[in-house]
Amino acid sequence: MKIRKVNWTQFMSFPAILLYSIFFVYPLLKGIGMSLTDWDGMGTANFVGLSNFERFFQDKRAIGDIRTTLIFAAGSAVFLNLVGLGYALLMERPFHGRSAARVIIYLPAIISPLIMGYIWYFLLQPGRGFLYHAAEQLGTTFFLGKWMNDYPTTMTVLVFVNVWQYAGMTMIIYLAGLKNISTDILEAAIVDGAGSWQRFTRVTLPLLMPAIRINVVTNIIGSLSVFDVIMSLTEGGPGYATESLSIYIMRMCYGSRTGYSTAVAMILFFIILIPVLISLYLTKEKSDA
Amino acid sequence: MKRLFALLVVMALALTAVSAFAETKVNFFTGKIETIDLLNGIIDEFNAQNPGIVVEQEYQNDASNIIKVKFASDEVPDVMTTYEQEFVDQGKYMDISDVNEWWDRLIPSMRDSCTDLKTGKQYRICTNMTMAGFFYNKEIFAELGLTPATTWDEFVKNLEVIKEKKPDVVPWFIFGKEAWHLGHLIEFIPHGYLKQTLGALGCKTAMLNNESDKLNLGAADGCMAVFAQNMLDLQAKGLINEDVLTATGDNCTEAFVTGKAAMFSNGMWALSGILEANPEMADKLGFAPYPAYMPDSQPVVLCAEDSGYSISATTENVDAAKAFLTFLFSAENQKKYSESLGSPSAFKDVEAAWAPEGFAKEVSNVLNSAVNIGFTNEKPAGFSGDDAGRMVQDLLAGTYDAKGFAEAYEKAWNEGF
Amino acid sequence: MMRQENTTFRTFRVMTVILICLMCIIPFYILLVLSLNSPSRIYYEGNIFIPSFDWNNYITAWEKSRIGLAMINSGIITFGTLGLTIVLGGMAGYAIARHNTAYNKIVFSILIGCMMIPGIINTVPLYTLMRRIKAVNTLWGMILVCSALAMPSAVFIYTTFIRALPRELDEAAEVDGCTGFHAFWRIIFPILKPATASFVILNGFGVWNNYAQAVFFLQSRDKQNIPQALSVFFQQFGGAKWHLMASTAVIAIIPVIIIFLIFQRQFIEGLTEGAVKG
């Protein structure tokens, strides 16, 4: 008779979760408790129940921030994936200078965010930026003169800049995914008489599902917690017009409303959770091959 | 076992011996980048002269936020340049009222600026003064026959003349992308009015206790509404730069040093940047107060404490910390400091050439003729200067009319408490 | 046969790539121009595309920012963090992908769930913890914090990639006499190179450029990393010495580009050929 041994490999996830629990989950749990208090960052915290959450939904600025965050994320998550996939398909076949091209596409993502903000503003500042002056030489300034005065244009520019900066990252994941698709299968599809569009939708896309899953989830989380790009171009302004929830949380946290900022962070968590769960569900079956 | 025990005892003894001879460490926490190199020099000198004490400077770009985390987790530097009313209230700073060797040398009005209103004691000492007002281009003013304004009507007239005679020059450049700059306008103009009408002390008390009948922030004819209306009028007449909401401080410097902007509001900290961008500005630089803009007001100029130092209430190295500050405050070191920072010393015995001579003279004339006001340290904790600045952005973006602005400001102010 | 492409399409493709590259190089080009401008230069007078070639900026930047030391520190932190997360994250990814037990489901949910919580709210408790274990101002402390931050991403990427691998691979390994852990290390891990490369590229530069954690956990000047070295050029009221900051940033980016080139040769370029067939 064979004695069933416990399969220890299933516990190979233990070291990772141990490290994570100590340096993230434990401080987080201590921090989350603050969402039910009026803690100002120092001094004593008084229990205030759910009133932080009530206050959030009565704050017009906070509601505006939700709108900005959602609009930004909808644009940015979709276009990061489309553009990143497009880049990856362009880069998949070998050509001269392909390695250099990949590095270059990734370049905007590796410049330190501390100075990247300045560079973006230097490029795009309404009426003064590099692109404005370059466009002026061509005889027209397009929308570059005043784009920050108008909400839809501002949001478009913010999404555009985010895609510009981070599409290289998305591309890398898609490239890694494409590597896992063998040419045999594609050639078999050609033998079967599939056109290039059919090959793409019937063969490439389903096999690319793991990469799609990683990119969609990462980009949803990244876009909904957007901070850097908005901070560098508009600082959430004018006033609070283009402020994102992450910026709001940061400002509240350092503005002596630490307890409240924790409550808002919890709300942001649920805002992110819903689309992430949906996309995990939608990409699930195929990736569980 | 015995051996192990003996070893442990020896190790423990050795540790005690080492720690007895160990140096006293003084952590000096600062957010002031401008003087970091100079201070490192002074610190090295001090450390060399005082064996047994080691002062270490920690610079943080985001010092005012980081100090909060440090306080919250009980890791407090011995000496720090960050100072906030809420820390005073919580007893985080040591009372230094009795260190007479420092106070005896300080200009009395500066001691007043350093005094905590609630207790009447001093928890910090400031070694320098900074001023803020309008920097203007003397050449342009002379060419158009203008003199700096003392009333708002004169001020507007000046701007109108500049716009008419020199259409390519921005009469008043405001760099409203940077919220702190607009926050400062609030601080110097409407808050400045409150400070001069209520008196420095009266205003502090009124703000601290939020006496809304005295502050009268939300009234339709109050200081906030009139200020807002004035700004809207200037904007409508094109007397400020069109891109007020997106212009940066760098844009302002650039426009000013190339003669494309006639004036802007800022503090002495802007001086070095202007002179670096164009050294020839030294002779063209003028300084003027904020004009009187209410029926019962006078021109004001900011004359505030700068470079403050506090000692932690819980430090174990009181003597070492004091010794270091005494060394730093020596007339010789303060002369160097004042000249490197570009702001006059608050010590009576320090003679420093902190700015080009002509300009320094002009500043001192303004200080003598206009009402001197200080910074507001009594603002509500949840309503920062940057928050106020972002409200001005909203005003200039057309979100509010003047009355609406004043009401919203009062509301935000009250909620901040 | 399928490699053949018609000429118009090929030209179109090459043109697009060139255009994209141009766009992506603009920010970097601006950085270069800024880094070579003298402080008094007024940007839009004269030719905006050509800087004033003030090479002294690089010397001043090197001396004032102590970027050399900062690069070593950032390098150690990045290397340590990536090493730790790749090993632990890879192991966890394997366990989660291959053993769909309740325990592993919980682990996965915690990791992915916490990815969505803004880190700022645990600042104070984490700082207190780090002080208690004497990890403030140490590189190992910073490595642990950064590893924790990067862990969800590592586990997520590895889990997803491993799930896409056929189980026959594990079985083949077992036939060869490798079990469990060995099967993972000898057989699975080596063919996860695209996943590892993706993870390194997605997270490596974030660690290299980490500022949010560094300001708290690397306070002493000897332990400062690259963004802190850059931040020396910020001034209190707005503005900054942008020309010096730009030269420092250019210096700091050179090793990144070199490493990137090596990584992509080693990992992305065809190393997986033949190993995995979807």
Q: Tens of pLDDT along B54-110?
A: 998 888 877 887 888 888 777 889 999 988 888 888 889 999 999 999 999 998 888
| Closest CB from C151, C202, C272 relative to A169 | C202
CA A237 to chain C, closest CA, distance in angstroms equals 16
Chain C CA closest to residue B276: C40
Can you state the angle between helices A258-282 and A209-224, rounded to 10 degrees? 160
Interface A-B, measured as beta-carbon pairs within 8 A, has a size of: 64
Percent of chain B past pLDDT 70, that is, above it, reads 95
Query: Is residue B172 helix, strand or coil?
Result: strand
Please give the Cα distance from C93 to C34 (Å, whole number).
44
Label residue B183 exposed, middle or buried (CB < 10 Å: 0-12, 13-18, 19+). buried
Q: Angle A60-92/C7-35 helices, nearest 10 degrees?
A: 130
Distance, CA of B340 to CA of B261 (rounded, Å) = 27
Which residue in the set A42, A127, A237 is minimally distant from B243, CB to CB? A127
Cross-chain CB nearest to B381 (options A40, A121, A148): A40
* Pairing state between β B53-59 and B125-137: unpaired
Nearest to B196 by CA among B110, B298, B103: B298
State the complex-level ipTM: 0.85
Cα-flanking dihedrals φ and ψ of residue B399, to 5°? -75, -35
Measured between beta carbons, the chain B residues lying within 8 angstroms of C136 are 75
**What angle do helix axes A245-253 and A258-282 make, rounded to 10 degrees?**
150
CA A119 – CA A262 distance, rounded (Å): 32
Q: C168-198: per-residue pLDDT in tens?
A: 877 777 777 666 677 778 778 888 887 888 8
- Tell me the shortest Cα–Cα distance from B19 to chain A, in angstroms: 31
- State the pairing for strand pair B125-137/B285-288: antiparallel
**pLDDT tens-digit profile of B186-244?**
999 999 999 999 988 888 888 888 888 888 899 989 999 999 999 999 999 999 999 99
Cβ C111 vs Cβ C152: under 8 Å: yes
Inter-chain residue contact A123 with C26, CB threshold 8 Å: yes
Amino acid at residue number C130: M
Return d(Cα A287, Cα C157) in angstroms, integer.
Answer: 12
B387-398, pLDDT tens digit by residue? 999 999 999 999
Taking alpha carbons only, the member of C249, C234, C196, C222 closest to residue C76 is: C222
Mean pLDDT of B340-355: 89
- List chain C residues with CB under 8 Å of B250: 239, 242
CB C224 within 8 A of CB C252: no
Q: Which residues of chain B make contact with A257, given a CB cutoff of 8 A?
A: 382
To 5 degrees, how large is the angle CA B250–CA B252–CA B253? Answer: 65
User: Of A127, A238, A257, which has the smallest distance from its Cβ to B382's Cβ?
Assistant: A257
Sorted by where each begins, the domain ranges of chain A are 71-243
What digits encode the pLDDT tens for the residues B264-304?
Answer: 999 998 888 888 888 899 999 999 999 999 998 999 999 98
Long-range contacts of B93-97 (CB under 8 A, 24+ apart): B93/B123, B93/B124, B93/B310, B93/B311, B93/B312, B93/B313, B94/B123, B94/B310, B94/B311, B94/B312, B94/B313, B94/B315, B94/B318, B95/B121, B95/B122, B95/B123, B96/B122, B96/B123, B96/B124, B96/B125, B96/B310, B96/B311, B97/B121, B97/B122
Among residues B90, B66, B98, B97, which one has the least CA distance to residue B80? Answer: B66
Would you call the peptide bond into A126 cis, given omega within 30 degrees of 0 as the criterion? no
Residues of chain A contacting residue C88, judged by C-beta atoms under 8 Å apart: 15-16, 19
CA-nearest residue to B65 within chain A is A254
- Tokens 């992110």 correspond to A272
pLDDT at C61: 87
Q: Which of B25, B33, B177 to mutate to test the interface with C (most CBs of C within 10 A)?
A: B33
pLDDT at B9: 63
Nearest chain C residue (CA) to A262: C121
Residue of C nearest to A177 (CA): C194
CA dist B369 and B353 (Å) reads: 22
How many CB atoms within 10 Å of residue A175? 24
Domain A71-243: CATH architecture, name and number where available:
Orthogonal Bundle (1.10)
Chain-wide mean pLDDT for chain C?
A: 82
In this complex, which of C42, C219, C235 lies closest to B33 when CB atoms are compared? C235
Query: Which of residues 143 through 182 in chain A touch C, CB cutoff 8 A?
Result: 164-165, 168-169, 172-173, 175-177, 179-182
CA separation for the pair C278, C275 (Å, rounded): 10
* Separation between Cα atoms, residue A28 and residue B29, nearest integer Å: 28
DSSP letter (8 states) at residue C240? B
| Neighbors of chain C by Cβ distance (3+ pairs < 8 Å) | A, B
Mutation choice for B interface testing from A235, A242, A243 by most B CBs within 10 A = A235
C-alpha neighbours within 13 Å on the C-beta side of residue C217: 31
CATH number of the B131-303+362-416 domain: 3.40.190.10
CB contact under 8 A, B71 and A42: yes
Determine the Cα–Cα distance for residues C247 and C55; give it in Å rounded to an integer. Answer: 9
Domain boundaries, chain C: 66-232
Nearest to A262 by CA among A22, A38, A5, A4: A38
Hey, what CATH topology would domain B2-129+306-355 get? Answer: D-Maltodextrin-Binding Protein; domain 2 (3.40.190)
- Can you tell me the mean pLDDT for B116-137? 92
B277 closest CB neighbour out of C39, C136, C220: C39
Q: What is the C-alpha separation between B76 and B26, in angstroms, rounded? A: 11
Q: Do C220 and B258 make contact, defined as CB atoms within 8 angstroms? A: no
Rounded CA separation A131/A125 (Å): 8
Q: Between A and C, how many residue pairs show a Cβ–Cβ distance under 8 A?
A: 300
Best probe of the B interface among C34, C57, C211, C215, by most B CBs < 10 A, is: C215
Q: Where in chain B is the domain with CATH 3.40.190.10?
A: 2-129+306-355, 131-303+362-416
Q: Which of A30, A225, B93, A38 is nearest to C124 (CA)?
A: A30
Q: What is the rounded (10 degree) CA torsion for B35, B40, B43, B47?
A: 180
Please determine, for residue A138, whether its predicted confidence score (pLDDT) is greater than 70.
yes
CATH of C66-232, one of 3.20.20.70, 3.30.420.40, 3.40.640.10, 1.10.3720.10: 1.10.3720.10
d(CA B329, CA B27): 17
CA–CA distance, B390 with B387 (Å, rounded to integer): 5
In this complex, which of B58, B72, B267 lies closest to C219 when CB atoms are compared?
B58
Q: Quote the tokens at residue B174.
A: 């405001």
Rounded to an integer, what distance in angstroms lies between the CA atom of residue C132 and that of residue B335? 42
Kindly report, residue by residue over A85-121, the tens digit of the pLDDT: 999 988 887 778 887 888 888 888 888 888 888 888 8
> Between the CA of residue B186 and those of B65, B158, B192, B233, C195, what are the distances in Å?
23, 21, 8, 16, 54
Gap between the terminal Cα atoms of chain A: 33
Q: pLDDT tens, position by position, for chain C (278 residues)?
A: 445 567 888 888 888 999 999 999 999 998 898 888 887 666 555 566 777 788 888 998 888 888 999 999 999 999 999 999 999 999 999 999 988 889 999 999 999 888 888 777 788 889 889 988 988 889 999 999 999 999 999 999 999 888 888 888 777 777 776 666 777 787 788 888 878 888 888 888 889 989 888 988 888 878 889 998 888 887 656 567 888 889 999 999 888 888 777 766 665 554 343 344 33
- Taking only residues 273 to 302 of chain B, the set having a beta carbon closer than 8 angstroms to any beta carbon of chain C reads 273, 276-278
Which SS3 state, helix, strand or coil, does residue C5 take?
coil
CA distance B218 to B406: 5
Chain C hits for B254, Cβ within 8 Å: 42-43
Judged by CB atoms closer than 8 Å, whether chains meet at A41 and B247 is answered as no
**What pLDDT score does A4 carry?**
55
B1 and C CB contact within 8 Å: no
Contact criterion met (CB < 8 Å) for C16 and A114 = no
Q: What is the DSSP letter of B371?
A: E
Whose structure tokens read 């440090």? Answer: B70
Averaged pLDDT of chain B: 89
Q: What is the three-class DSSP state of B125?
A: strand
Helix (H, G, I), strand (E, B) or coil at C177: coil
Helix (H, G, I), strand (E, B) or coil at B64: helix
* Long-range interactions of B52-55: CB distance < 8 A, separation 24+: B52/B23, B52/B24, B53/B23, B53/B24, B53/B26, B53/B317, B53/B320, B53/B323, B53/B324, B54/B23, B54/B24, B54/B25, B54/B26, B55/B26, B55/B28, B55/B320, B55/B324
Which residues of A fall within a CB distance of 8 Å from B84?
none
Neighbours of A235 (CB within 10 A): 20
Asked if the Cβ–Cβ distance from B397 to A126 is below 8 Å, we say no
Q: For residue A211, which of A179, A187, A184, A164 has the smallest C-alpha distance?
A: A179
CA-based nearest distance A254→chain B, Å = 6
Q: Which of A128-142, B50-64, B350-364, C261-275 has the lowest mean pLDDT?
A: C261-275
Helix (H) or strand (E) holding B201: helix B200-208
**pLDDT tens string C126-176:** 988 998 898 888 999 999 999 999 999 999 999 988 888 888 877 777 777
